[in-house]
Amino acid sequence: MEEKTVKVLIIGSGPAGYTAGIYSSRANLNPVIYEGNQPGGQLTQTTEIENFPGYPEGVQGPEMMDQIRQQALRFGAEIVSKTIAEVDFSKRPFRCVDEDGNAIYAETVIVSTGASAKYLGLADEEKYRGLGVSACATCDGFFYRKKVVAVVGGGDTACEEALYLSTLARKVYLIVRKDYLRASEVMQKRVRDRENIEILFNTNTVGLFGEDGVEGAKVVEFKGTDKERVFDIEIDGFFLAIGHKPNTDIFRGQLDMDAEGYLLTAAPTTRTNVEGVFAAGDCADPIYRQAVSAAGTGCRAALDAERFLMEHS
Ligand code: NDP
């Protein structure tokens, strides 16, 4: 097995990780970015990004992530297409082990592992995963041309996914557990104005059915009240858009985190409870979760790591 020592190890490759790579490589710190099994992070699964500054006409998520990646490479960041499987933050340099068992000793670590889509927890989601259940409309929407699909959730992601799917599918149900959408006004309006989207408010999904794939969902309206109504909707695809869970399991017991697993940092810095370990992006952000805010914290983490290395050299 190989071993090497680096000044800055960046774990994760969304806007936070790549931006940390740009800053720390420009500071001659020769960062190594482990980009994990979804290089570019969640934005590689989205369509158009309209709110990242500098793109007045919008930009496709994968294209923007590739550009930020190229920018990190241009200044000498090393990018490794593997995941870090294990870390030991008990002493410096920190010993981190990749998926193949190779050890990397890092003087500082920037954690930017992002977050992953949540599922409802129904056994049927497992049963039909890849057979009609998806958490990524842009990845799988193509398979549902002229079909009927459902999207679960009432936030911006759910609205965005529903709108995207409505351009492909014949009909889209938006299944919302409350009696209102949490999404921004502009997204709500777009959804309401789209003829082939039907919003089912006060509705929860309790199961899926179908022979070789999803053919329908069993849903309950006004669950637990005297107006409760259980009925089936016929669908070919079932898309989850109910938020995200931070990818921080490998840091449990070493880095302080909140009840949901979001890493805690000493605001306004990106310092975690372990000196020399910094956190950036969605893994430490339960509130804003935007590409631009993730990129911002990636910059801050790189500057924090640089300062730390100056003070400890
Ligand atoms: P949110 O947390 O904002 O919304 C999650 C939605 O899923 C809510 O409607 C929530 O319902 C619902 N939900 C959660 N758990 C369940 C469950 N078990 N069963 C049924 N429904 C459930 O997540 P998003 O991913 O939509 O957005 C995250 C952040 O990213 C937000 O800040 C958002 O504004 C931002 N964003 C911005 C975009 C843009 O500007 N273009 C695009 C996408 C995201 P309830 O309301 O009842 O809690």
Residue nearest to atom 16 of ligand 1 (CA): 242
- Please answer whether residues 42 and 64 qualify as being in contact, where contact means their C-beta atoms are separated by less than 8 angstroms: no
**For residue 3, what pLDDT is reported?**
85
| Residue 294 tokens, joined | 């993730």
Output the pLDDT for position 26. Answer: 98
- CA 230 / ligand 1 centre spacing (Å): 24
- Run of H or E residues at 67: helix 61-74
- pLDDT tens for 49-65 read 888 999 999 999 899 99
pLDDT tens sequence across 221-261 = 999 999 999 999 999 999 999 988 999 999 999 999 999 99
Among 118, 138, 157, 159, which residue has the most ligand 1 atoms within 8 Å of its CB, making it the best to mutate? 157
pLDDT at 48: 77
CA distances from 150 to 47, 214, 217, 313 (A): 18, 11, 9, 56
Q: How far is the CA of 18 from the centre of ligand 1 (A)?
A: 25
Q: What is the DSSP string of 105-133?
A: EEEEEEE---EEE-----HHHHHTBTTTE
What would the pLDDT profile of 132-191 be if each residue is shown by its tens digit?
999 988 878 988 999 999 999 999 999 999 999 999 999 999 999 999 999 999 999 999
Q: Whose CA is nearest to atom 32 of ligand 1?
A: 288
Q: Distance of CA 100 to CAs 82, 86, 96, 104, Å?
A: 9, 11, 11, 11
Q: Whose CA is nearest to atom 25 of ligand 1?
A: 243
User: How many percent of the chain have pLDDT more than 90?
Assistant: 87
Centre of ligand 1 from the C-alpha of residue 268, in Å: 26
Q: Give CA–CA dist 64/312, Å, rounded.
A: 35
- Of 42, 43, 182, the residue with max ligand 1 atoms within 8 A of its CB, to mutate for a pocket test, comes to 182
pLDDT, one tens digit per residue, over 65-95 is: 999 999 999 999 999 999 999 999 999 999 9
Identify the residues whose C-beta falls under 6 Å from ligand 1. Answer: 51, 120, 152-158, 160, 177-178, 182, 242-243, 289
Instruction: Map residue 216 onto helix, strand or coil.
Output: strand
Catalytic residues: 136, 139-140
